[in-house]
Amino acid sequence: MTRSNPDRSIRLLLSLATTMAAGLVGLTVHSILMLVKDAFAILPGFRPYEDFQRLLGGWTGDSLGSILPYLTGAMIWGFLYARLHEHLPGRLFWTKGLAFAVIAWAAMTTGFFLLAGHGLLGLGLGYGLWPAALMFPMLAAFSLALSFSHTRLRADDERRSRIEPAARKHGAAEHDS
Contact 70, 29 (CB under 8 A): no
What does 121-150 look like in DSSP terms, one character per residue?
Answer: GGGGGSSTTHHHHHHHHHHHHHHHHHHHHH
The whole-angstrom separation of Cα 125 and Cα 100 is: 25
Total domains, the chain? 1
Contact 115, 55 (CB under 8 A): yes
Residue 7 forms part of a structural domain: no
Residue 97 forms part of a structural domain: yes
pLDDT in tens, 58-105: 655 556 655 666 666 677 888 899 899 999 999 999 999 999 999 999
Residue 6 forms part of a structural domain: no
Residue 3 forms part of a structural domain: no
The whole-angstrom separation of Cα 156 and Cα 35 is: 32
Residue 5 forms part of a structural domain: no
Range of the domain at 61: 13-168
Q: What letter represents residue 65's amino acid?
A: G
Dihedral pair phi/psi, residue 87, rounded to 5°: -95, -10
Residue 125 forms part of a structural domain: yes
Q: What is the pTM of this model?
A: 0.74
Residue 137 forms part of a structural domain: yes
Q: What is the helix, strand, coil percentage profile of the chain, to 5? A: 80, 0, 20
pLDDT in tens, 102-134: 999 999 999 989 988 999 999 999 999 999 999
